[in-house]
Amino acid sequence: MTSLNYEMKYNTRPRIWAVGGGKGGVGKTVITANTAISLAQQGKLCVALDLDLGGANLHTILGIPNPDRSLTDFLSRKVGSLAETMLPTPYPNLHFISGSKALLEMANPKFSQKEKLIRHINSLNVDYVLLDLGAGSAFNTLDFFLSADEGILVVIPEPTSVENAYHFIKAAFYRKLKRATKKSGVVEAIDKAMVEKVARGIQSPRTLINNVLQINPEAGRALEEEARGFRPNIIVNQARKHDDNELGTDIAQACQDYFGIRIRNLGHIDEDDSLREAVRLRRAVVEAFPVCSFTRAIHSIVKNLLEARDEQR
Amino acid sequence: MLSKDYKLLDLDKDATVQDARRAYHRMKALYAESSLATYNLMLSEERAEKLDAIERAYMRVCMEIESRSPTHGSAFIPAQAAPPDPPEPGESIGNYLKRCREHLGLTIRDIAARTKIRTTYLEHIESDRISDLPAAVYLRGFVLEFARALELPDPEAITAVYLKRIEREDE
């Protein structure tokens, strides 16, 4: 048992950063783990939570080969609170909640379970909770992404990854709008806008909002408000060429031009051999190689995210 | 209409010629056929329309900036823009080339497109990374093309100085 009571001690809830982004294998888990360690190194009390149910491996990156407690214990009510599933990690200030051994049906938790989980995440007595989301843009993934203070998308400079990122942004945006209203006519208008499956020919959110404003001005204004609050972040991982460095800016610009959605570019991470070396040593990169380019990029991303918060105030 | 042009190029109202040029090149690259960020966002007709809109917007914005501040000269002819400051004593040629490039609002990508020299080489040249530079016989041509692309007054002289310094540091 953790010696501290990690629940409901702080008056303020933790800040939640969720890392997702369509395609698998783009580095979400490695980025989540190292971002959490970077924050922890700065003295922030952190929890890294593995929500990649069914494909969890955050525990390995954090150096905990066989977690003896996991999210399953909470979802199956073996324990009463999420805090009881927290495990210490080799890194000071950083705890971890495993998603491994999650029962298959848990990979798709029901709405009430999901709401309960989000409630418990918010009541953890820490400064930051990092969510490692699975690949894809299923509703559950989107909901965790949207419940976070900062949603972070990871893309790599490959057409498939970029395509998935656009799909994810669009799906998250419409999901957010849809959750904001139950008004008749409005829901149908959003559904209609969502039907377009391919990235091209997307009905721009601005057009959608204008349509809704005509159907129902009150709902339209509510959607405008929701749209303003939607500002996902983007990280370009595995950058190899000079051009890759500008992919984040380019995607942000295209999203602004085409969807009217503002994206914050957090920066790029160059491909770095230190990653492979760190995995071999079973240590996290930011701890094992404090001056490599990957570590520098992670620290800079954390700095950008912390500054993003100040700029919102 | 004009404010729409500024918006299309993502420019502030008080943008300079350099800002406009930089924005123009950035948008052209973003909406080029080969752009990773937009290749699956639009059909080819849409893309053609967008590129056309960028050209028109850039033209109008440049005209507006010229009328606003005639001393800036035309954005279309780099030679008429205010020349960058000459190299300072002790300043490396690599740094000078970088300064001139930025003065014109051009990216490494732009220079690479004009000169057909790989961006990594251009970066090495700018940052004087001697160990990463190609052999002098190639380097000469690269620096020369780089200086020409920037429309510097005396590309030959700049190249000669660059090679001489590299030679000295190599010993």
A89-135 tens-digit pLDDT: 999 999 999 987 655 556 566 778 888 999 999 999 999 999 999 88
> Chain B: residue nearest A202 by CA?
B41
Nearest Cβ partner of B37 from A200, A241, A251?
A: A251
CA atoms within 13 A on the CB side of A215: 18
pLDDT at A129: 97
Nearest CA distance, A234 vs chain B (angstrom): 13
Nearest to A159 among B27, B39, B46 (CB): B39
Residue of B nearest to A200 (CA): B41
Tell me how many degrees the CA angle A261-A121-A266 measures, rounded to the nearest 5: 35
Instruction: Report the distance separating Cα A152 and Cα B77, nearest Å.
Output: 42
At A19 the pLDDT is 96
Cβ atoms within 10 Å, residue A112: 8
pLDDT digits (tens, 9 = 90+) for B78-123: 444 566 777 777 788 899 899 988 888 888 888 888 788 888 889 9
pLDDT one-digit tens code per residue, B49-80: 999 999 999 988 888 887 776 544 444 444 44
pLDDT at A197: 43
Q: Which two tokens stand for residue B87?
A: 């190299």
Rounded to 10 degrees, the C-alpha dihedral A239/A240/A242/A247 comes to -30
Mean pLDDT by 10 residues, chain A (313 residues): 47 90 85 96 96 82 88 88 94 92 62 88 96 84 93 94 90 85 72 56 67 79 85 94 87 87 93 88 90 95 90 61
**What is the residue-averaged pLDDT of chain B?**
82
Distance CA A126, CA A95 (A): 10
Is A250–B40 a contact, with Cβ atoms under 8 angstroms apart? no
Please name the residue that has the structure tokens 């377009």: A196
Task: Flag whether the pTM goes above 0.90.
Answer: no
> How many angstroms separate the CA atoms of B148 and A115, rounded?
63
CA separation for the pair B22, B105 (Å, rounded): 5
Q: In chain A, which residue's Cα lies nearest the Cα of B43?
A: A200
Q: Could you tell me what percent of chain B has a pLDDT over 70?
A: 89
pLDDT of residue A84: 95
Q: What is the pairing mode between strands A46-51 and A94-97? A: parallel
Full set of structural domains in chain B with CATH: 2-78 (1.10.287), 83-170 (1.10.260.40)
Residues 93 through 112 of chain B touching chain A, CB cutoff 8 Å: 108-109
How many whole angstroms separate alpha carbon A141 and alpha carbon A147? 10
Which pLDDT value is given to residue A106? 60
A15-155+272-313 folds as: Rossmann fold (3.40.50)
The domain ranges of chain A are 15-155+272-313, 157-270
Element at A20 (helix H, strand E): strand A15-20
A253 and B123 within 8 Å at the Cβ level: the answer is: no
Chain B CB contacts of A170 under 8 Å are: none
Which residues of chain B have a CB within 8 Å of the CB of A166? 40-41
